[in-house]
C-alpha cells in the first residue's frame, strides 16, 4: 500500500464517484418505492379487516426473512420466465425497494399506533370518513413520528445498495473491482476509499434527516416508549 497506489486511486476518484452516483440513484428509487408500499402495508395492517391484515403480515415476513441477495437474483432472473426483460438496475430497485417496504411498514405501524386512538374518534365525530381521517389527521403525525426510525433504515439501505454489484449493476463496488483487476496493488486503497465515501454519505444522510426531524417537530408529540 504505497503512496503511489493512493495517488493512483485519487486520480481514479471520478470513476468511483460515477459509480457512487448509481448507488445514490438506486437508494432514491428504492426508498421511494419502500415508502409508498410500506405506508400502504402499514395502513392495511392497522386498519384493514383481519384476513387482509394477515396477508400484509405475511408479506412483511417474506421480505424480511429472505436474504437481500436472493431477492436480487429472484427479481433479476424471475421475470425472464414470464418473458419480461428487466435491467439489473430495475431489478435492484424492485428487490431492495420491496424489502425496505417491509421494514418501513414496521416503522410506520409503530408510529400510527403511537397516535392516541382519541384522535381518530375525534376526527370521525367531526364527520370525516375513515380515509379522510387517516389522510388528514393520522398520516401527518405518523410521518413525523417515523423520522427517527427512518434514519436507521436509511443508513441500512445505503449500505445495502452495494449488494446490487452481485447482479451486475455498475455501481461503486464494481468500479473499484475494475481498478483492482487492472492493478491489484490498488485494491486496499481503493476499497478503503470506498469505505470512507460511505462513511461520509452516512453522516450526511443522518445529519440531513436530523435537520428535517428538528424542523418538523411538534412539541409535545413524541413516541412514548
Residues that bind other proteins (CB under 8 A): 1, 5, 8, 11-12, 15, 18, 62, 65-71, 73-74, 77-78, 80-81, 85, 155, 159-160, 162-163, 165-166, 168, 170, 173-185, 187-188, 190-192, 194-196, 198-199, 202-203, 225
Nearest distance from C-beta of residue 170 to other proteins, angstroms: 7
Residue 113 or 168: the one with the smaller Cβ distance to other proteins is 168
Closest to other proteins by CB, 47 or 178: 178
Of 45 and 68, the one with the shorter C-beta distance to other proteins is 68
Whichever of 47 and 78 has its CB closer to other proteins, that residue is 78
- Which positions ≥6 away from 189 have C-beta within 8 Å? 1, 5, 6, 8, 9
Minimum distance from CB of 33 to other proteins (Å)?
Answer: 16
- Per DSSP, which regions of the chain are E strands? none
Closest distance of CB 119 from other proteins, Å: 25
Cβ at position 81, least distance to other proteins in Å: 5
Residue carrying the nine cell digits 478503503: 192
The sign of the dihedral angle between the CA atoms of 60, 65, 68, 74 is negative
Whichever of 99 and 134 has its CB closer to other proteins, that residue is: 99
- Give the residue ranges of DSSP H helices in 48-82: 50-65, 68-81
Question: What's CA 190's distance to the chain center, in Å?
Answer: 26
Q: Please give the Cα distance from 117 to 119 (Å, whole number).
A: 5
Cβ 133 to other proteins, closest distance in Å?
22
Residue carrying the nine cell digits 402495508: 41
In this complex, which beta carbon is closest to other proteins, that of residue 34 or of residue 138? 34
Evaluate whether 172 touches 16 at the Cβ level (below 8 Å): yes
- Cβ neighbours of residue 99 under 8 Å, at least 6 residues apart? 34, 63, 64, 66, 68, 71
| Least distance in angstroms from the C-beta of 163 to other proteins | 7
Q: Are 133 and 120 in contact (CB under 8 A)?
A: yes
Amino acid at each position: 500500500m504505497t503512496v503511489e497506489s493512493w495517488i493512483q486511486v485519487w486520480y481514479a476518484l471520478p470513476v468511483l464517484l460515477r459509480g457512487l452516483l448509481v448507488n445514490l440513484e438506486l437508494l432514491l428509487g428504492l426508498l421511494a418505492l419502500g415508502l409508498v408500499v410500506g405506508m400502504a402495508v402499514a395502513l392495511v395492517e392497522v386498519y384493514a379487516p383481519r384476513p387482509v391484515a394477515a396477508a400484509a403480515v405475511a408479506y412483511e415476513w417474506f421480505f424480511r426473512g429472505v436474504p437481500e441477495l436472493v431477492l436480487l437474483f429472484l427479481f433479476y432472473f424471475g421475470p425472464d420466465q414470464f418473458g419480461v426483460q428487466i435491467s439489473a438496475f430495475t431489478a435492484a430497485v424492485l428487490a431492495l425497494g420491496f424489502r425496505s417496504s417491509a421494514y418501513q411498514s414496521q416503522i410506520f405501524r409503530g408510529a400510527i399506533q403511537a397516535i392516541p386512538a382519541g384522535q381518530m374518534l375525534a376526527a370521525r365525530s367531526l364527520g370525516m370518513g375513515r380515509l379522510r381521517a387517516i389522510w388528514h389527521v393520522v398520516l401527518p403525525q405518523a410521518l413525523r413520528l417515523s423520522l427517527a426510525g427512518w434514519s436507521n433504515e436509511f443508513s441500512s439501505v445505503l449500505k445495502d445498495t452495494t449488494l446490487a454489484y452481485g447482479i451486475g449493476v455498475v455501481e461503486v463496488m464494481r468500479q473499484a473491482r475494475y481498478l483492482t483487476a487492472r492493478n491489484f496493488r490498488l485494491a486496499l486503497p481503493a476499497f478503503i476509499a470506498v469505505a470512507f465515501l460511505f462513511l461520509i454519505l452516512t453522516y450526511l444522510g443522518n445529519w440531513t434527516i436530523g435537520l428535517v426531524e428538528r424542523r418538523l417537530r411538534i412539541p409535545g408529540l413524541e413516541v412514548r416508549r
